[in-house]
Structure 1
Amino acid sequence: MKIDLGDLNAFVTVARARGFRDGARLSGASASGLSEAVSRLEAQLGVRLFNRTTRSVVPTEAGERLLDRLGPALSEVETALDVVNGFRDRPMGTLRLNVPVSAVRLALPAIVPPFLAAYPDIRLEIVADDNFVDVLAAGCDAGIRYDERLEQDMIAVPIGPRVQRMAAAAAPAYLDRHGRPGHPRDLLGHACLRGRFLSGAMPAWEFERDGEVVVVEPTGPLLVSLGTAVDLAVDAAIAGTGIIFLFEDWLRPHLDSGVLEPVLEPWWQSFSGPFLYYPGRRLVPAPLRAFIDFIRST
């Protein structure tokens, strides 16, 4: 049985994206083209690979088993073909990165434009995702995360600012009305603007001063999805709705302009910046190697 490699790639793309439209958006192909390729593959194999409804496209048991075996195999094919990149004057190909929204905003703007200028034959795809995922299973070459969320078998390379802080801030008018907290526990009596990950986890607010660490879980009138809706919380803080707790660099323009005022600044906790991470058990594709070399040199 001769199976077209493009049809297999189409199947993996749709299975990982859980849909033809999302698969088309991620791959640059057309949804109709992916559908035709999957139908052709199902016809050749004589088995249904997806259960399709108007709302979802979910792999069947046969589809799941095929994906488990086929995903790593196709990755190895891509890696093998990528070897020829070493014989080119300039690396080419696609580099897919899974990145938290904070890194998209705070780390990548200073890196992406000069990198693409230096490597015009590389196409960079950024998938913004605040959930921790298996980068290979997600169809990505590497990811960016903070050290507490890195797996032990990953290779990690520093990227972006090496020291960051979480900052609390509020509009001066809000603080004039409700008072300025002198200790992190005072936040329990304030309107605080919280965030929650898509997983449902709601991170506590952590402060530190002279070796004393204080963790609080305040309440307030607004809860947003971390990453995707954080700017709404920032706007609400500027409007005087309450106190926000976010990356200092994210809030810095508003702090400098005066529309937000620092809250409990002596208690702001520092932590190490993000890392680019990738599995160490496979050959590094040329576009990823170029990106690693670039961030190490900057």
Structure 2
Amino acid sequence: MPGPIATRILCDLGFEIIKVEDTGQGDYLRDLYPGTFGFLNRGKKLISMDLKKDGGKIIMKRLIEHSNVLIESFRPGVMDRLGLSYNEVVKINKNIVYCSINGGDDPGHDINYTAMNGIDKTLPVQIADTGAGMMAALRILNSLYKNVNEHIIIDMRHIPFYFNLINIFDKSMINGDYPFYTIYNTMDGSIALGAFEEKFWKNFLEFINIDGPMHDKSLKGKIDEKTSKMSSDDIIKASKIYGFPATKVSKPEVKKSENLRMGSDTVQVLKSIGFNDDDIKSFLADGSIRL
């Protein structure tokens, strides 16, 4: 997912993003995790083409001519075999920023790259994927700002090192075991308490009318019993008065998905880079594109 994360960031910053999928299965996330696929690809233009066919190569060359950035996340060597290595692409567009995101000689997923960096547990967030996507977006913006065309290589094996807070902090301090940093039930939902500092903890205890040290795990049940009889809004109002960090746990709004069908923008994109109706019919006939 690092490529889609990087391009989602750039899309939110106003870039026009064209997502290229093959004409077969396409992006596996579309069927496996449709919600995630929708989130990552909202606002992008989707085209579907076969890069192994002559028509697909012609289209890709035209896309490169009209682009400022190319991002790919294949295993090393795949772009070379497609004739789309950095050295070949800069012959088409000498000003392009070319970004490769991969795991080098160790292809894998988030759990593999975090394990390489000493994290011995599964995590609820994709550190390597998210970190690599963020790093790629930053490096691309830096290259564009400096007006430097270069081959950016993001090695996912090293990304978790920069985000390895799990092994920096006491693991149990941030996993909800302690009463000062956890989720509490309320009459109408739940609230998140982040009283990490002693002063905030004391302020919270004054409000909740309980006494005890912040590392006393037995306090969680007593506090939850009290918050369960309060509304979330009342606790949030009290947090402003007494001075402790608390927020309501919100329920994400489910938005209607855009049209994220494979190839939904193929015709529009091809026409925008100079192909006409006859060209598109020809590409469609020989299987170079999918609509």
Q: What TM-score do you get using the length of structure 2 for normalisation?
A: 0.29
Please say which structure displays the higher CA radius of gyration. 2
Q: Per residue, is there more strand in 1 or in 2?
A: 1
